[in-house]
Amino acid sequence: MLTKLKEQVQLWLVGEARIAHSLGLTPNKVSGVGIIFALLSTISYWQWKVQPTLFLILAPLFLLVSGFCDALDGVLARHFSATSTFGGFLDSLLDRYTDAMVFAGIILGGLSQISWGLLALTGSLLVSYCRARAEAAGVKMETVGLMERAERIIIIIIASFLTLAWNEALQWGIVLLAVLTNLTVLQRAIYFRKASQKEPKIGVV
């Protein structure tokens, strides 16, 4: 859904990309910074009971910075001709690690029931897998479905801040993600089936 705003977001980030480029940062380096902030977010969720208010503010802020880096590395690559097959692979790989780590931190920190957390994690990873598998078969999957990565990050961030006033906010945010991510997987499966029927050459090997 929010992916439809990607072009506008990319325009907003051109200035930041120029600054990053002038500092000698490459897309892969920015991706590396992003995974570091994702790890800091994970640790903050996991250890939130040490300093509840502080860590429940830091965790979503770190995640937000990680998401910013994820957006910036793509803009940096495109505007300064630094795109590469490996760079795209690495970016996608680190995104999956980020998703897995953050959900693990939330679960280990007791901010979500294990069953709902695992269901949300599974759904999130499968949403991304559906896109990768479908596009490998020639079916464009971007913008298909309710819960793409941007939406998932935003829900976690908002629910995290709400937890400061309502203890169960993040738990219910995870429940929402568990339901909507798996619904998105179903949406993408149906979309792929219809698209594959239109193009007989697009099939599952």
73 a catalytic residue: no
Nearest to 141 by CA among 195, 89, 182, 98: 195
- pLDDT of res. 205: 44
Count of domains for the chain: 1
* Structural domain contains residue 188: yes
| Cα–Cα dist 120/33, whole Å | 25
Rounded to the nearest 10°, the torsion over CA 170, 160, 57, 113 is 20
pLDDT at 34: 96
- Long-range contacts at 111-117 (CB < 8 A, ≥ 24 apart): 111/45, 111/48, 111/163, 111/170, 111/171, 111/174, 112/170, 112/171, 112/174, 113/171, 113/174, 116/171, 116/174, 116/175, 116/178, 117/174, 117/178
Q: What is the pLDDT of residue 182?
A: 97
Host domain of residue 159: 2-198
Closest CA to 147 of 108, 183, 111, 113: 183
Terminal Cα distance for the chain, rounded: 29
- Quote the pTM value: 0.89
Confirm whether 203 is domain-assigned. no
Query: Is 177 within a domain?
Result: yes
55 in any annotated domain: yes
Residue 40: predicted pLDDT:
98
Q: Is the dihedral of CA 42, 43, 49, 54 positive or negative?
A: negative
Amino acid making up residue 8: Q
User: Is residue 204 assigned to a domain?
Assistant: no
Choose the catalytic residue: 70, 91, 95, 99: 95
Per-residue pLDDT at 201: 52
Q: Read off the CATH number of the domain in which 128 is found.
A: 1.20.120.1760
Residue 39, C-beta contacts closer than 8 angstroms, at least 6 positions apart: 101
**Dihedral angle of Cα 21, 27, 29, 34, to the nearest 10 degrees:** 110
Which mean pLDDT values do the consecutive 10-residue runs of the chain (205 residues) have? Answer: 60 82 89 96 97 96 95 86 84 94 97 97 95 90 87 95 95 97 95 82 48
Q: Are 94 and 35 in contact (CB under 8 A)?
A: yes
**pLDDT value of position 75:** 87
| 57 belongs to a structural domain | yes
